[in-house]
Amino acid sequence: MPQGMDKGIKPAVALGRTLNLANVLKMLKASIRPLGLLGPAGVWLLLLMVLPTLLITELSFVPGLRPGEAIEGYGLLNYLRILEPTYLQVLRRSATFATGTTLLCLLLGFPVAYWLALMAPKRWRNLLLVLFILPLWTSSLLRTYAWITLLRPSGVINLALGALGLPTQSLMNTHWAVYIGMTYSFLPYMVLILYASLERLDLRLLEAAADLGANPRTTFWRVTVPQTLPGIAAGCLLVFVTSLGDFVVPTLLGGPSSMTISRLIYNQFLGVARNWGFGSALSMVLILMVSLAIALLLKYGDRNPEIYS
């Protein structure tokens, strides 16, 4: 780089130069601003995320660790135990709930976001968005209790159905109730992210497709969806990750067969088992599943970098 351009010199570039004192000082000086800005967040991340995760990783390799005990030996027993059918069943159930919720949110959320972004009157868009996001401002526990009031055999939905002479539903305490509760809880996230993605859709492409003879359905599948794929991936990831670890909805709305991985972890730490080693191993598996989901996002989410420009 030319001699005179010190301002904002990148440490990486400086390394290419001779390593005398002046250059090292320049390097440090240039790093101060980025470090100063990243410092608080970095420290926070380190202390509150990285260190606890490392601690849990360590504990997960201690078979049969009870709280308050000293660590006696390490082993893979906790992880091997997860491979037992009982616990694989729990993992499978959590993954099924999460996948089902994600698909439902996508199917319900995409039309809403499409309408909001492209077809709703412009004046009302922000208001409608806010109205959609409003439930997020209440506690998710309260929202789940509201669903209990709706879905109960003597609840509001059945009262309405009965008044209309229609057969009543008995969804309470079943897996369907869990899907309903979770989809309701996470739909706003999906809509918001899809809205952001659809909002920057270049409408000229749609017009061009129409000019070239595509009918609306072809345009949708071959132009709109590929363009919004990063948004879809991001929305699906967010909903998947949060519903995978959801504790409240399966516990309150699910029946006696709705043990999920978060509830299992809770039982290991605070239940009768008090096996912190096993609980830590389960937590690590949950982190692994989430990381897999993020990896998939990174693969499919960066399809067309040019649309970001």
Partner 1 sequence: MPRRISRNSLLSRTSRRRFLQGSAAALAGVGLANCQRTIGEAGGTGETASTDAASDSTQASGTLHIYTWADYTDDELAAQFTEATGIDVKVDVYDSNETMLAKMQAGGGADYSLIYPSDYMVTEMIDLEMLTELDKSRLVGLDKIREKWKSPVYDPDNSHSVPYSWGTTGLLYNSELLTTPPTDWDYLWDNSDVLSRKMTMLDDVRETMGAVLSSLGYSYNATDPAELEAAYQKLLELKPDLASFKSFGWQDELLSGDLLLSMVYSVEGIPVSLENPTFKYVIPESGSSVWTDTMVIPTSAPNVDAAYEWINFNLQPKVSQETVERLFFATPNGEAMTMLSKELLENENLFPPEDLLAKCEGIAPVGEANALYDEYWTKVTSA
Q: Which residues fall within 8 angstroms of residue 101, CB to CB, at 6 or more apart?
A: 179, 182, 183, 186, 239, 240, 243
Does the protein bind partner 1 through residue 68 (CB under 8 A)? yes
Between 30 and 105, whose beta carbon lies closer to partner 1? 105
Instruction: Please state, in angstroms and rounded to a whole number, the distance separating the CA atoms of residues 109 and 239.
Output: 11
Between 111 and 255, whose beta carbon lies closer to partner 1? 255
Q: Contact, 250 vs 174, CB < 8 A?
A: no
Does the protein bind partner 1 through residue 193 (CB under 8 A)? yes
Does the protein bind partner 1 through residue 178 (CB under 8 A)? no
Does the protein bind partner 1 through residue 154 (CB under 8 A)? yes
Considering only 60, 102, 183, 275, the residue that binds partner 1 (CB under 8 A) is: 275
Q: Contact, 268 vs 275, CB < 8 A?
A: yes
Pair of tokens at residue 158: 């059945």
Between 9 and 205, whose beta carbon lies closer to partner 1? 205
Stretch that binds partner 1, among 3-11, 107-115, 209-217, 256-264 (CB under 8 A): 256-264
HSE (side-chain half, CA atoms, 13 Å) at 176: 6
Considering only 7, 123, 204, 217, the residue that binds partner 1 (CB under 8 A) is: 204
DSSP string of 16-70?
A: TS---HHHHHHHHHHHHHHHHHHHHHHHHHIIIIIHHHHHHHHHHTSTTPPTTPP
Considering only 108, 157, 252, 296, the residue that binds partner 1 (CB under 8 A) is: 252
Does the protein bind partner 1 through residue 244 (CB under 8 A)? no
SS3 27: helix
Between 99 and 267, whose beta carbon lies closer to partner 1? 267
Considering only 266, 294, 301, 307, the residue that binds partner 1 (CB under 8 A) is: 266
Does the protein bind partner 1 through residue 49 (CB under 8 A)? no
Instruction: Please state, in angstroms and rounded to a whole number, the distance separating the CA atoms of residues 105 and 167.
Output: 27
Q: Contact, 105 vs 190, CB < 8 A?
A: yes
Instruction: Please state, in angstroms and rounded to a whole number, the distance separating the CA atoms of residues 159 and 168.
Output: 8
Nearest distance from residue 140's CB to partner 1, in Å? 5
Between 90 and 289, whose beta carbon lies closer to partner 1? 90
Residues in contact with partner 1 by CB under 8 A are 64, 67-68, 86-87, 89-90, 93, 133, 136, 139-141, 148, 152-154, 170, 172-173, 188-189, 192-193, 195-196, 199-200, 203-204, 207, 238, 242, 245-248, 251-252, 254-259, 262-264, 266-275
